[in-house]
């Protein structure tokens, strides 16, 4: 089983012409109980489940439109195709080009520093999947979106939702039961404080 098979399975009945553009926002999330290790690297399947809480207005807004060539503008800066962020993003978008082999223009703005340890990739890939849903008008539920986001970044599966989220590790080899779900928890007194001591990219990536 690989990502192409999994994504095609989820989107088998969702072959729609794109809209003019798709836009979405996703919050970054912080793991309260982390998952430790992956049992399948190709599908980003974790060894254990995890619990997280979203960071509200700290996250990513992404706009995707069909273009003549792939292009990424991140926080107002055009990133060249060889940039590692652009390569990772368009490598992920390769799975969604369909038979028409669409090229994508992506504009993203992040309210968290990129690569500094505040889950920018989680909100980035979740916002990308949600923007694709808007662009292609997919009629799929949040659990399916969670699986798609997981293909880009494991933690992105949790950023599909707001509030407290549980990611069930699952047991199936194809990973279809490895999904995140929103928890029905009301805790109005709960607060999160974020203190940025450095916005420099971390030396060792989460993966």
Does 35 score more than 90 pLDDT? no
pLDDT of residue 59: 95
Q: Count other Cβ atoms within 10 Å, centred on residue 138.
A: 21
Q: Is the pLDDT of residue 7 over 80?
A: yes
The string of pLDDT tens digits covering residues 121-131 is 999 999 999 99
Distance CA 85, CA 103 (A): 17
Whether the Cβ atoms of residue 45 and residue 116 lie closer than 8 Å to each other: no
Q: Alpha-carbon distance 98 to 113, whole Å?
A: 32
Instruction: State the pLDDT confidence band at 64, using cuts at 50, 70 and 90.
Output: very high
Threshold 0.85, pTM exceeds: yes
The first and second tokens of residue 170, run together, are 């699952």
Q: With a cut of 80, say whether residue 115 has pLDDT above it.
A: no
Please give the structure tokens belonging to residue 49.
């489940």
């Amino acid at each position: 089983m690989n990502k192409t098979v999994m994504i095609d399975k989820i989107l088998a009945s969702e072959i729609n012409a794109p809209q003019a553009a798709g836009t979405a926002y996703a919050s970054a999330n912080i793991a309260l109980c982390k998952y430790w290790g992956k049992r399948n690297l190709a599908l980003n399947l974790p060894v254990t489940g995890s619990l997280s809480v979203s960071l509200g207005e700290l996250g990513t807004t992404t706009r995707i439109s069909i273009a003549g060539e792939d292009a990424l503008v991140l926080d107002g800066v055009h990133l060249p195709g060889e940039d590692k962020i652009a390569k990772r993003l368009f490598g992920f978008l390769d799975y969604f080009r369909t038979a028409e082999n669409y090229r994508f223009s992506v504009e993203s703005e992040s309210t968290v520093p990129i690569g500094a340890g505040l889950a920018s990739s989680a909100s980035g890939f979740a916002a990308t999947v949600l923007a694709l849903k808007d662009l292609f008008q997919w009629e799929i539920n949040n659990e399916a979106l969670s699986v798609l986001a997981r293909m880009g970044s494991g933690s992105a599966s949790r950023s599909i939702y707001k509030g407290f989220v549980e990611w069930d590790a699952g047991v199936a080899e194809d990973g279809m039961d490895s999904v995140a779900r929103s928890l029905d928890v009301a805790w109005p007194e709960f607060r999160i404080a974020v203190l940025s001591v450095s916005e420099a990219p971390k030396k060792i990536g989460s993966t």
